[in-house]
Amino acid sequence: MSDNNTLVRVEKLVKHFPITRGIVFQKQVGAVRAVDDVSFDIRKGETLGLVGESGCGKTTTGRTILQLHKPTSGDVYFRDINLVEANDGTIRELRRDMQIIFQDPYASLNPRMTVGRIIAEPLDVHNIGKPNERNDRVQELLKLVGLNPYFVNRYPHEFSGGQRQRIGVARALALNPEFIVCDEPISALDVSIQAQVVNLLEELQQELGLTYLFIAHDLSMVRHISNRIAVMYLGKIVELAPRDVLFANTLHPYSIALLSAVPLHNPAAERARKRIILLGDVPSPANPPSGCRFHTRCPIAEKRCEVEDPEWREYEKGHWVSCHFVEKAQQKM
Amino acid sequence: MEDREVILDIQNLRTTFNTQEGLVHAVNGISYQLHAGETIGVVGESGCGKSVSMLSVLRLLEIPPAAIKADSINFKGENLLDFPDHEMRKIRGSKIAMIFQDPMTSLNPVLTIGFQIKEPLKLHLGMDGEAAENRAGELLKLVGIPDADSRLADYPHQFSGGMRQRAMIAIALACNPTLLIADEPTTALDVTIQAQLVELVKELQDKLGMALIWITHDLGVVAGLAERVIVMYAGFVVEDAPVDSLYEDPRHPYTFALLKSLPKLHEKPGEQLETIEGLPPDLLELPAGCPFVPRCAFVKDKCRTENPGLEEISLDHKIACWVDIKTGELR
């Protein structure tokens, strides 16, 4: 699966959050299985889209890759360095090259810091450049993300959501990273502003040769920006394929349903098409269903799905899926 | 469409809020009509006045700071603005019901779901005891909650987001409303759950025949649901058209740009999205001319000085714009 072009490689990544009971004598009574055995790789210069419903573990995956959460087990390689085994010093060094843009531009900027200080903070932390060089760099970054450099002394509350997200992008770019986890960077923004931020991310990618892990729940935007797309359900990746392949030849029943739930901007097509409505809600990740995790909502599930966890396999070149009944899904759905 | 009875007729509604910074002009003279059983979608960005206009119709805003002015808001021939508060209370939740955006915060966490569904039944229909209990169970079943009767005793935290929104719909439908206002009911929910709810509301509307106003910022949801779409910008209605002509042939520059800025599932991917540069205007100081001028691609001199009113340009298709975007010239 890996070759020279691979920048990030995730192998059998697992992240469980313990559920504890008791205050003085704490004991673990269970675990939220947020990410459960996930493997994929991200190539240099590409955008890998990660989609799924809330609570399916997309954000945890992104954060665990960056070692913001310590994984329960599994390995994450960044340029062939295993981050899980690396010591804190090495990770700190490597953090210069891997950054994150957060979902909520209202909560991810410190309201008591000026924009200039927010963007310069990574430079301060990593001790890069002299103060006046840092100031120059901040001005340059503001220009790069399409904000007026004159804004350095303003506070976050003086900006709109889209502008704040640009500040978040500038901060992520401060250290010249190679890899950025974009954790739902546009979900909190208005439609007309979303396009602005997406275009900015695309321009920066071309200009600076960035690699993105783009986490989102909006499939139409993910399709627009991604080269490959991974679909996640309840802690597992159920399908991974190049963008066009995923949309033209969807294999997993969950992906099929997810695609059919995306509203089209065309009244006639929207009325005519048959939606696949999944019954029920996503089960709790603290107590996931046996066998295939999707079997409780899957329209084509059989006995086998309840007991046997489907294997993560390469169905055709570059198109990975975990489902026992791929052919049946294609015929029946 | 026209032979149906007009049940809601809003004429020149203006809502302002008195704040420390000054007067916020949230809704600036909007007019439209709704027919019995009709579904309209009200679309716009946050802060464009779509929710405030509906809250003004229901008179759910606190006065002051809010001030609601209108030539009339006629609901089934009666002006809602003339009603005293106790009359208004009889209409809210019985004849006009509303579903709010956030199912996590719009249910009372310390009361059971059953109690909250029974509340409108008791207040408006005078039901009590077993009758109310049975009807509440029926309603919860109607909105597709399995094992409904036993779930009446549950508290909201025992329900998932989708189920809470279903419970909200059950409360709204309790008294068979003539008009249901849904204020971004699916925004806080996942796509698959959103699809469930849109399907549910469509079904219920077929069954019960109420008129529906669906407020949203998602042009996709409205496409499959509404018969007519009203696009709002900065407190003005800028376009009002049947759903097919709005999507196929948008005539206001804002609608036109908004539809273009959406990534389409069947377009060639990888191309730049068209954006609407800039930001919506500050509602504290509305410009003299058209509020869309700073972001508009078709601006003429006239746009800067005079704000266009809503005008019918073809059958049922109204826009508030001086320019014909097909030619780029003044109409």
The band of B145, judged by pLDDT with boundaries at 50, 70 and 90, is confident
Least confident window among A80-84, B155-159, B193-197, B302-306 = B193-197
**Mean pLDDT value across residues A117-146:** 89
Q: How many CB pairs under 8 A join A and B?
A: 114
Distances, alpha carbon B129 to alpha carbons A188, B116, B123, B136, B178, in Å: 44, 14, 13, 11, 26
* Sequence-distant contacts of A287-296: CB under 8 A, at least 24 apart: A287/A30, A288/A33, A288/A36, A288/A234, A288/A235, A292/A322, A292/A323, A292/A324, A293/A233, A293/A234, A293/A235, A293/A236, A294/A233, A294/A234, A294/A238, A294/A252, A294/A253, A294/A254
Q: Is the pLDDT of residue B108 over 50?
A: yes
Q: Is the pLDDT of residue A105 over 60?
A: yes
**Mean pLDDT value across residues A261-283:** 78
- State pTM to two decimals: 0.81
ipTM: 0.71
The band of A49, judged by pLDDT with boundaries at 50, 70 and 90, is very high
Q: Does A275 contact chain B (CB < 8 Å)? A: yes
pLDDT at position B270 is 57
* Model confidence pLDDT, tens digit, residues B40-78: 999 988 778 888 899 899 888 888 888 888 888 888 888
The band of A277, judged by pLDDT with boundaries at 50, 70 and 90, is confident
Disruptive mutation site among B273, B277, B292, B296 for chain A (greatest number of A CBs within 10 Å): B273
Q: Is A263 exposed, middle or buried (0-12, 13-18, 19+ CB in 10 A)?
A: buried
The band of B266, judged by pLDDT with boundaries at 50, 70 and 90, is low
Q: Does A282 contact chain B (CB < 8 Å)? A: yes
pLDDT at position A115 is 92
Residue of A nearest to B221 (CA): A263
pLDDT at position B206 is 85
**B227: distance to nearest CA of chain A, Å?**
9
* Model confidence pLDDT, tens digit, residues A218-257: 788 888 889 999 999 998 999 999 998 998 899 999 999 8
Mapped to the 3 state alphabet, what secondary structure does A179-238 carry?
EEEEECCCCCCCHHHHHHHHHHHHHHHHHHCCEEEEEECCHHHHHHHCCEEEEEECCEEE
Q: Which candidate, B212, B229, B216, places its Cα nearest to that of B188?
A: B216
Do the chains contact at B273 and A199, CB–CB below 8 Å?
yes
Q: Is the pLDDT of residue A47 over 90?
A: yes
**Mean pLDDT value across residues A42-50:** 92
pLDDT at position B268 is 59
Residue of A nearest to B274 (CA): A195
pLDDT at position A14 is 92
Q: Rounded to an integer, what distance in angstroms lies between the CA atom of residue A38 and that of residue A147?
A: 38
* Model confidence pLDDT, tens digit, residues A69-99: 999 999 999 988 899 998 888 888 898 899 9
Give percent of chain B above pLDDT 70.
Answer: 97
Q: Is the pLDDT of residue B178 over 70?
A: yes
Q: Rounded to an integer, what distance in angstroms lies between the CA atom of residue A111 and that of residue A133?
A: 24
Nearest CB among A217, A243, A263 relative to B269 is that of A243
Q: Is the pLDDT of residue A275 over 90?
A: no
Instruction: Locate B275 and state its tokens.
Output: 């954006």
Q: Does A194 contact chain B (CB < 8 Å)? A: yes
Q: Is the pLDDT of residue A4 over 80?
A: no
* Average pLDDT of the residues of chain B: 85
Residue of B nearest to A159 (CA): B279
Q: Are B265 and A266 in contact (CB under 8 A)?
A: no
* Average pLDDT of the residues of chain A: 87
pLDDT at position A10 is 93
Q: Is the pLDDT of residue B183 over 60?
A: yes
Q: Are A224 and B273 in contact (CB under 8 A)?
A: yes
| Contacting residues of A for B160, CB less than 8 Å apart | 281
**B89: distance to nearest CA of chain A, Å?**
34
Q: Is the pLDDT of residue A1 over 60?
A: no
Residue of A nearest to B249 (CA): A266
pLDDT at position B306 is 85
Disruptive mutation site among A224, A228, A259 for chain B (greatest number of B CBs within 10 Å): A224
**Mean pLDDT value across residues B113-126:** 88
